[in-house]
Amino acid sequence: MPPDIQRSTASSMLDQVLTWYADKTRLGNSSYVIVDAAQNKALWLKLAAKFASLPILEASEAEMIPHLVALPAPDQIDQTTRKLLDRAHSADLSVLCSTMAHAPLRDHLRAHTAVRLSGGIEMLLAFWDPAILGTLIGHTGDDTLHVKGPVLLPEQKTAFLHPISAWCYRDREENVHCLEGSADPVAHEPSPLVLDQAQEDALVEAGVPDQLLYHLETNRPTLFDPDLPHHRRYRFVRAVLPSARQLGLTGMRDLTNFVAICLIYRQRIQTDPEILQLLDQVQKKKLSFDEALAQMPE
């Protein structure tokens, strides 16, 4: 049975979890939060000081990895903790409900962090990132996803979600999404996911907007209005990517430079005859993109 995915513009994931818990058949579930310390070290430290916390990845630097933190039942969470969770940003955390105990659930999640690609290479599967989670499961209700998915095959999805009763996260624009876990009552032995080339390509593409935005914010931060929020920057990058693809641009360097000239020239990128002629020559492979950039007008 496919996951039942719901969407809400409510700011509190805990409210969504409480609504889910209201069904008496869901008794016996425990609440957990996955906190990415690399995104919000202060949040993880505050939660780990109050609740049991286990690392999802094996690493020497705990502040650089995601952690599974055991929470009380949602209606028993104190106001201080509630405010911490409600003020966190999209990439900081997600909330899980499961009948599985803390350590076994962590072990299950850890077993799915490494995926084997078609060439035998292993890749880290960062499912704690909402953009990756939504793409893996296939979430048509999340309009912020660059790749809608689902990437996982039905049997892979069932095995991955087996111990999870519900999983709630915020998308890039802070809308709350809650999905039901696997309906399969049979336990699955943790085993590495094996992805084919199409699945690998979809996951790589899902992360492209974030990578482009990271490069631009790190190396050319003045291109963005400082008051423009992160989710609107992300939306802009996603919006111009199809035009870059139409030109035949594929490498991260070329894609980053294309987004940069879109930010520099704004509307002129669509109306300036000189710019349009240069881009047309790139599309027809008469000029490299670097050559076109060197001839761009003032």
Segment 61-104, tens digit of pLDDT:
889 999 999 999 878 889 999 999 988 888 899 999 998 999 99
DSSP, collapsed to helix, strand or coil, labels residue 49 as coil
Indicate the pLDDT class of residue 5, thresholds 50, 70 and 90: very low
Mean pLDDT over 159-170 rounds to 90
CA distance 113 to 179: 20
Q: Where are the domains of the chain?
A: 5-195, 208-294
**What is the DSSP secondary-structure string of 251-272?**
SHHHHHHHHHHHHHHTTHHHH-
- Helix (H) / strand (E) containing 169: strand 164-170
User: What's residue 196's pLDDT?
Assistant: 93
High-pLDDT (> 90) share of the chain, %: 61
User: What's residue 188's pLDDT?
Assistant: 58
Lowest mean pLDDT segment, chosen from 34-48, 95-109, 190-204: 190-204
Spatial strand order of the sheet with 5-8 comes to 5-8, 176-180, 164-170, 93-98, 30-36, 66-71, 53-55
Q: Which CA distances in Å does 92 have to 88, 128, 169, 235?
A: 6, 9, 10, 19
DSSP, collapsed to helix, strand or coil, labels residue 12 as coil
Task: Give the ranges where 66-219 is alpha helix by DSSP (H).
Answer: 79-87, 102-111, 130-137, 154-161, 197-206, 208-219
User: What's residue 64's pLDDT?
Assistant: 93
Mean pLDDT over 231-257 rounds to 95
Indicate the pLDDT class of residue 10, thresholds 50, 70 and 90: very low
Q: Are 35 and 47 in contact (CB under 8 A)?
A: yes
High-pLDDT (> 70) share of the chain, %: 92
Contacts of 53 by beta carbon, 8 Å cutoff, 6+ apart: 35, 44, 47, 67, 68, 69, 70
**Residue 187 token pair:** 């336990």
Asked if residue 187 has pLDDT above 80, the reply is no
User: What's residue 1's pLDDT?
Assistant: 32
User: What's residue 297's pLDDT?
Assistant: 94
Q: Are 236 and 230 in contact (CB under 8 A)?
A: no
User: What's residue 15's pLDDT?
Assistant: 81
pLDDT averaged over every residue in the chain: 88
Q: Which CA distances in Å does 153 have to 115, 189, 194, 198?
A: 14, 17, 10, 11
